[in-house]
Structure 1
């Protein structure tokens, strides 16, 4: 097995909640030493997010911060600031997701840190980026999802758009930040210099539009994508359908797949001639006849159980799937075979099962088995790596410059 690609790279994760911590988790999986820096006392606000296990950990925090070392330092003390400067001097990458300007006040802005460490790759993640009229505004993924035009296109016509229920803006921006950081690391090999990476949630979601923007611009402003409900009028037949005992998605929008599907429907109770109706042999023809097609397909699916619909469509190689609940996803043999649920043993909570990352390399394992750190858990080891003596570390701990949570690890719970 090869070493993981980023072994030997030190990353300072000075972020909170989701987008920044996700970047750190990805870089840790790729082999980097990631040091999570948190404020004393409460630490990352994500510690108190969904599924709180105790006053120090939540499932949210455990998922996003596995594989990292944790330090907690009081930046209001000059010694804490000096520690952070030494830590950043030793780093290859610095990740933060605060509002533009916030870290400059602490001496942790790009200008200050890069002056001391010219090779530093400094990645900022914010709602709107560090330039433009909205750069100063606060925001979360929800805000970017609303402003990007994505939210306006989903849901049922005439109803308020639904929440996406996954943090699309944060995760998509996060993985783009991972790509940008790796590119900057490669570029540094040639230039010897780091640089500032400015990532915005709003930017990345606008970049996701694979058809909406060009539909509008190339039509001269005539085509404005709107909510379409459960199928896509521009890609008939492609959508969600109600079966007798659940929901299925069917993707028969490609001409060959449509012909196989239409013939199957006709041979299994559909109207005579449906499979040979040449009006529907092209995408434009199917889109024009969408309502007529749906009038056949909707009752055809509704009369059958999900398992029957899937079996029939699988037999003719038409892409389809059940709309699964999370418990069904966890039990899915494909997910199990791909190792997409990572199992960790936590000293207090016992066995943990959390989503894995989708990285798959032929010759190295990127699965993280190290659990997320307690607040300030690695103060001593990180400080020692910077050359602090035992006496200096003890003094910093005694004076409250270093903070560590006092947790009971005597018993694990299921």
Structure 2
């Protein structure tokens, strides 16, 4: 087996909640040594987000696996000095605070790059570090609302639903992974790092594969809106009701439509020339949908899927998370990973989706307890045992009670 691609790269993760932690968790999966830096007593805000078990947050466990944990008081001069020494050894620094917040702590890019010019510094924020709204705080929900995505989801005339997944954070995080790796590759040639400025808002706006050009190429006359359970410009492509649940059918291309039509409507329906082109199906969508709905509504999901699979029409059950985690495909792909946690024992969490032919990117190490690796990191930076003891005693280095006897 080969070494993982980022082995030998050190990442300082001074981020919280989701976009930054997910980003750095992916870097850990790719082989980087990631040091999670938290504030004393409270730690990452993600530690206080459900689901909880024995006082531990599954939310935090999911996004911080494979990292080492440092908890340091940056309001103390000794803590600031330790942090500067740590960053001097780093290749990457990840943060997701409001623009300007870390500059005031002496941890902005301009400051850190003076002593570590090769540092790749990645900032994640709601609006980015430039523009009239750069000073504003925000979360994924805010970016989803502003991006135009939420306005296209749900039933016409109703308030848009919450997406129930952190699309903005996760999509921005994976953009950070790509940008950081590109910057590290660029550093090989230039010897210099750089500042990567990522915005949740920008990333979600960039996700529009259709709506933006509809508007710009139509001279501003076409604005995609909510369409409910199907796409008017891609007939037939949507969600349908069965007797015991829901399924999706994707027969918007001619070949799939030719296989679907006789199944759901018989030969006369299949022979209707109005439906023989994509434009025709879109124009006569309201004649097609009732036929398909009538076919699915008298069958179970399993019956629908079996019939559709038999004629090779793309389809799937609308699965809940129980279905997903028990799906043989997900299990075969290794999308669940079992880890041993010092308090919880064995836990099962989602894996990253990276699959390399020459190495295993599965993270087997659980997320750190708060301050779990304080002593190891301080010793690695050259601190004497007595100095470390003093910083621990004075609260410059903080660890939760459960860490006692577990430092590794």
Q: Which residue in the other structure is 2:248 paired with?
A: 249
Cα deviations by residue, 1:292-346 (Å, 9 ceiling, x for unpaired): 0011111111011111110111111111000011111111000000010111121
> Which structure 2 segments of 5+ residues have no match?
none
Q: Which residue in the other structure is 2:83 paired with?
A: 84
Shift of 1:266: 3.1
Q: TM-score scaled to structure 2, two decimals?
A: 0.98
The within-5 A match list for 1:15-414 is 15-55=15-55, 57-267=56-266, 273-407=268-402
What RMSD in Å do the two structures reach over aligned CA positions? Answer: 1.1
Is the 1:233–1:290 Cα contact (8 Å) retained in structure 2? yes
Cα deviations by residue, 1:357-381 (Å, 9 ceiling, x for unpaired): 1000001000001000011000011
Q: Secondary structure at the match of 1:296?
A: helix
1-side partners of 2:53 and 2:403: how far apart?
Answer: 13
1-side partners of 2:234 and 2:53: how far apart?
Answer: 45
Cα deviations by residue, 1:275-300 (Å, 9 ceiling, x for unpaired): 11121111100000000001111111
1-side partners of 2:126 and 2:403: how far apart?
Answer: 38
CA 1:247–1:4 in structure 2 vs 1: closer, same or farther (change >3 Å)?
same
Is the 1:348–1:408 Cα contact (8 Å) retained in structure 2? no
1-side partners of 2:3 and 2:309: how far apart?
Answer: 40
2-side partners of 1:153 and 1:306: how far apart?
Answer: 27
Is the 1:47–1:58 Cα contact (8 Å) retained in structure 2? yes
1-side partners of 2:249 and 2:345: how far apart?
Answer: 40
Is the 1:39–1:74 Cα contact (8 Å) retained in structure 2? yes
CA 1:233–1:396 in structure 2 vs 1: closer, same or farther (change >3 Å)?
same
Cα deviations by residue, 1:215-252 (Å, 9 ceiling, x for unpaired): 11111111110000000000000000001111000000
2-side partners of 1:202 and 1:347: how far apart?
Answer: 38
Is the 2:369–2:403 Cα contact (8 Å) retained in structure 1? no
Q: Secondary structure at the match of 1:403?
A: coil
2-side partners of 1:66 and 1:329: how far apart?
Answer: 21
> Which structure 1 segments of 5+ residues have no match?
none
2-side partners of 1:345 and 1:291: how far apart?
Answer: 54
2-side partners of 1:409 and 1:47: how far apart?
Answer: 19
- 127-136 vs 312-321, which moves further: 312-321
Q: TM-score scaled to structure 1, two decimals?
A: 0.96
Shift of 1:350: 1.8
Is the 1:126–1:201 Cα contact (8 Å) retained in structure 2? yes
Shift of 1:408: 7.5
1-side partners of 2:190 and 2:225: how far apart?
Answer: 46
Is the 1:347–1:409 Cα contact (8 Å) retained in structure 2? no
Cα deviations by residue, 1:117-143 (Å, 9 ceiling, x for unpaired): 000000000000000000000000000
Shift of 1:54: 4.1
Shift of 1:409: 8.6
